[in-house]
Structure 1
């Protein structure tokens, strides 16, 4: 039942964003609000699925609060913009709950580190005026801080503009390519590229990570996709475990700057500077290629230093490779 709910919410989110990218369905604030509602609901549904009895009860409470908060902002989006920092107690209560919901979702999706850093930053805004010396900051009213972070539509909602309008669509593109077999195509190209070289599997990791990086801007996803077969192979031919892990991590990190689907920073650059994303992606082509070229050189020199001999390429189904080629 939970799997069905996750599928329904995920599919609805994808369809909504695909349609809204072509047609104006609602105003910007409500559009971002819908995006946030879908994202929070998905994260808490996954949390519900993987939790025990108490965790499931907490997940249900979080989903209910999400619906209430998103519904409130959706219903009063125009008055919230007019009121700005002169918000009602109800506005501020919804704002506090929204901040907590986003922190909870961040904890579930990325672990405690981001939550701790964010908590310290928020705490400093509240208490910065109490610190001495260079740490001293201007005192700001708590009501204004809450409003700016949440229902003031300049904190959470301001940053989500990039995600709602650009990032999510590229994530959908990457998911479609992966489902259609694009990742397997790139893996086979990587095997062919590294097959005759001394660096062998290490060069395969570099080439494959570069290709996979074109459809996903996530370092973790890139490592999970390519590292599962390249790291064991690198260890088998003579690379030390720490060297194999480092090469895979370095190669996969390059996916952040590999067009067309780059990391979040590229979308942030487009939003902040006003430069079209396409121009940023084109400008990143040469630095990205140079990055992977240097990582590839390192793997080759390291293989020579370790005395690793070249080996035959892993078997590649040429017919399947040709059939998947149109995915490019």
Structure 2
């Protein structure tokens, strides 16, 4: 099974490269490969050193971090898609040198820059302008055009403020002041996003690299197979479970689709699922990994910094919504399997859970340890550092998971490579934040959305949802959260929505953009593996993700779902009504509960489900009555079908 999994992953590398720019790097050999490996390993060692012995001054730490990141990006990602992936083009060497030199200018002349107290001379201005352009180019190569386009629009907005009509107008910023703000302060490129990348995020990515070296991905798939592979529609449920588990260490929904989907999508198709549905299941489950604590695609660290809410509090608040999301996906998968009469795999074909845990259960220790360390008060950086050491140590407990010294060194290189997408995205996001802080665009956008909604909370939520879905298209998780929290969340804060609920609302819909047409990258990647129609796959994925479209509204109207000012009984009540409501909505979307539904039944179940997930005793009672009525209609219809079958058989 492990060999088949590795073979499937290899076969789908082209699909990953097509939909995920982060995988489109050079495969170097010889001297150039050794140079790149040396830079990457040194980068990881620098991060480990500062984590162990103390982080440097903010600007210096972040400058060195970006210098390493930019140089590696330009060496590994060609400027043009037509350039060779086997050797480094001379132009990219020049870009790499400039990419390292521009941020290091701050390190070398740090004292002089501090003494000038924000005043930039001609050399400073030229270096800063070059650095901004290099960050945009690095983001284009790794992240792709969507985010670079957004950043460029923000730069144009900053420069042309006086000429913009309406509420979004501002007095304007000259180019010199803009460059100074973006490159020589901690309000722009060197702001919170890159600060978090240079401390917490890098170490968690390195932790994920070592977990992969120990075979954690295959362990999750085997474990999910053992738990759910035998059930109705077993492979689809395996996809939901394995992708949820991978989400605890993964930072990319597209990479998650290809990693676990290489194995689960063919299995789903072999048991009778349509290709569009198989691809959609994997895409929806993998996208949910970005919502699953403790890492949440690294957005949890950024959220903690932006909101000044402790990290442990963030991941605690995210647990129930994430579980409801996966429950919604699981419900959709189960109902589709029942509707089509799909069986699971034979138990003889599946790995035994006892054997899996005996042989590889120790791989869970680092994950358990990192959660324990975070809960007991360790900083995320220290928790990740200890977890890295523990993951290497735990791998040594069994021969089949043991990693060699070469694997340890390669893990350092792989971790640095894995961080490049985050570095490019967070540095580019810094440009967007810099423009927002200098022009006040966040408050202007918030005011505009509230004005459009005429002060109505539901309409404000709806407009914020649409804004987040648009801003999240084709943008990786960390940058996605930065953009949506900066542009969309302020509207909710103006409506007195709790800070955590407002940020989580914008974050959820930014992430769900990965499965929402027209730019549903995760769904398109799943369609590529399933050989399905991309648009139909995206539509199926949106249906399966119906819980994700409901849960954010629930926790805004009832923050108790995020454990805000909550009692235990409140949590139980909300969880029960939300679960039943999601079943109702899920059955309406699937058109099946215990038998096929008419359009009237679907309306009854949909309205009943919505009312149950909406907080309030009256809505809960009406919703419950509607669902009971719908269920009784379904039972009566099923009884007639069963009674009709013997009569038909007897006639024959």
Pick the TM interval, shorter chain. over 0.9
CA contact (8 A) 2:62 2:190 kept: yes
Question: Which position in structure 2 is the counterpart of 1:52?
Answer: 84
How far did residue 63 of structure 1 move?
0.8
| Partners of 2:113 and 2:185 in 1: CA distance | 7
CA contact (8 A) 1:80 1:152 kept: no
Question: Which position in structure 2 is the counterpart of 1:96?
Answer: 129
Going from structure 1 to structure 2, the CA distance change for 1:74 and 1:48 (only over 3 Å counts) comes to same
For the aligned residue pairs, the C-alpha RMSD in angstroms reads 2.2
CA contact (8 A) 1:270 1:280 kept: yes
Question: Is 1:112 the counterpart of 2:145 in the alignment?
Answer: yes
CA contact (8 A) 1:47 1:56 kept: no
Aligned with residue 113 of structure 2, among 68, 80, 83: 80
CA contact (8 A) 1:198 1:300 kept: yes
CA contact (8 A) 1:188 1:321 kept: no
| Partners of 1:124 and 1:57 in 2: CA distance | 35
Aligned with residue 177 of structure 2, among 144, 147, 167: 144
TM-score, reference length from structure 1 = 0.93
Going from structure 1 to structure 2, the CA distance change for 1:307 and 1:3 (only over 3 Å counts) comes to same
Bigger radius of gyration = 2
| Partners of 2:255 and 2:131 in 1: CA distance | 28
Going from structure 1 to structure 2, the CA distance change for 1:120 and 1:220 (only over 3 Å counts) comes to same
Question: Is 1:237 the counterpart of 2:271 in the alignment?
Answer: yes
How far did residue 321 of structure 1 move?
4.8
Aligned with 1:22: secondary structure? helix
CA contact (8 A) 1:6 1:45 kept: yes
Map 1:1-328; keep pairs closer than 5 Å: 1-24=31-54, 26-47=56-77, 51-52=83-84, 56-158=89-191, 159-313=193-347, 314-316=349-351, 319=355, 321-328=357-364
Point out where structure 1 has 5 or more consecutive residues left out of the alignment: none
| Partners of 2:114 and 2:340 in 1: CA distance | 63
How far did residue 57 of structure 1 move?
2.1
| Partners of 1:278 and 1:212 in 2: CA distance | 20
Query: Bigger CA drift: 284-293 or 204-213?
Result: 284-293
| Partners of 2:202 and 2:50 in 1: CA distance | 12
How far did residue 131 of structure 1 move?
2.2
Going from structure 1 to structure 2, the CA distance change for 1:82 and 1:292 (only over 3 Å counts) comes to farther
Point out where structure 2 has 5 or more consecutive residues left out of the alignment: 1-30, 365-652
CA contact (8 A) 2:77 2:142 kept: no
Higher relative contact order (CA 8 A, sep 6+): 2
| Partners of 1:124 and 1:55 in 2: CA distance | 36
Aligned with 2:190: secondary structure? helix
Aligned residues: 328
CA shift digits 1:203-247 (9 cap, x unpaired): 000000111111123212211211111112222222222211221
How far did residue 127 of structure 1 move?
1.4
| Partners of 1:29 and 1:186 in 2: CA distance | 39
TM-score, reference length from structure 2 = 0.48
**What stretches of structure 1 move > 6 A for 4+ residues in a row?**
none
Query: Bigger CA drift: 229-238 or 208-217?
Result: 229-238
